Amino acid sequence: MRAWRNWQTRMVEGHVPTRSGGSNPLARTLHSFYDRHDFHHRWRFFLFLFFAPAFVAALQLAGDQRSRAFAQEIPHPPELPVAIEATDDRIVVSIAGERFTEYRHTGLQRPILFPLYAAGELPVTRQFPLVEGVPGESADHPHHQSVWFAHGDVNGLDYWSGLARIRHEKAEIQGNSIHSTQSWLDGENLVCHEETTISFHATEKWRLIDFRSVLRAGESPVTFGDTKEGTFAMRTHPMLQIKGDDGSIRATAFNSEGISGVDIWGKRARWVHYEGTIENRTVGITMMDAPSNLRHPNFWHARDYGLIAANPFGLHELGGLPAGAGNITLAPGQSLSLRYGIVIWNGAADETSINGLFAEFSKD
């Protein structure tokens, strides 16, 4: 105990040597600290060090609260109510009491969304071949049926053109979403299983379809081949075509990479946008490729006659890579998830608006 007291005394007096032979810095600090003339200054300094972190945290909290209050003052358009009702051969989707679309799954080679409306029940997709003789519509590519999901080479089978069948199995409604299962068939034999979730959202400015598909191989491997004929697609209303049948310019088109017009075909992009005038109203359509998708951003099979299709497999025909470069093979039981969005704008939409909605879409 006496040795410990002697050591304390020598520390305060600054006499304890360091290993280098000089005075101990700690001793000098303690000596200065115990000095009668500046002890109160150092006491205040240590109090500042003790309370400063709490003070800074309080300022940050107050700033966060002000930011949240400010954000709440920014007007965000409220979502409109979505109603979904099932009938024998289709599921009908309405927004704020207006028809929006129908999920048709019976009597077709694959399920489709038809018709598809902007606000005010303004049609934005071609009606042929489900409705024939509509003035101004062309009768080309009868397999282009409003909105669909298919591919032109799956184990050599062509689901894109409807030569092979995607059979609807069942569907259920959950809130603002339709959950369904499909079987991609070779005759009556299963090639792959599909589970789909289609969700619907809307405001006064836009309507959104959020399409998610999970493809799962059956007991044998499944290869999705490198072809431009795919995959998540829409055939637009004739007034949303870049060019009319007479070659005249009808609508504008541009993508997320700043490319416009017919040059958007075969280009990679996060989204593609078409815009035109239908019945004296400006309408825009944006199709989006989710960042989680295979080979995002996808190549786009986007034509001047109104076909818009996001394709993660067509690297050769769309991107100029070697033949077969885009092939993807799923082992038995292995799955592939894909997600796409369609936005129907009530009026014109610029890049800032599209990028903002794409950012929100990408968060989920």
Domain ranges, ordered by start, for the chain: 2-73, 82-363
Distance separating alpha carbons of residues 56 and 186, to the nearest angstrom: 67
pLDDT confidence of residue 248: 85
> Contact, 79 vs 91, CB < 8 A?
no
Predicted confidence (pLDDT) at residue 46 exceeds the cutoff of 60: no
- How many whole angstroms separate alpha carbon 263 and alpha carbon 254? 9
* 149-189 tens-digit pLDDT: 999 999 999 999 999 999 999 999 999 999 999 999 999 99
How much is the average pLDDT of 74-99? 90
What token pair was written down for 12? 């305060």
Q: 10 Å Cβ neighbour count for 139?
A: 11
27 versus 196: which is more confidently predicted? 196
* Fold classified for 82-363: Beta-galactosidase; Chain A, domain 5 (2.70.98)
- pLDDT on residue 258: 97
> Residue 339 has what pLDDT?
98
Which of the pair, 72 or 97, is modelled with greater confidence?
A: 97
Does residue 27 sit in helix, strand or coil? Answer: helix
pLDDT of residue 344 exceeding 70, the answer is: yes
Kindly report whether the global pTM for this prediction surpasses the value 0.85: no
pLDDT attached to residue 57: 52
Check residue 215 and give its pLDDT. Answer: 98
- 232 with 146: CB under 8 angstroms? no
Percentage of the chain lying above the pLDDT 70 cut: 79
State the Cα–Cα distance between residues 124 and 277, nearest whole angstrom. Answer: 10
In 3D space, the residue among 195, 203, 42 whose CA is nearest the CA of residue 118 turns out to be 203
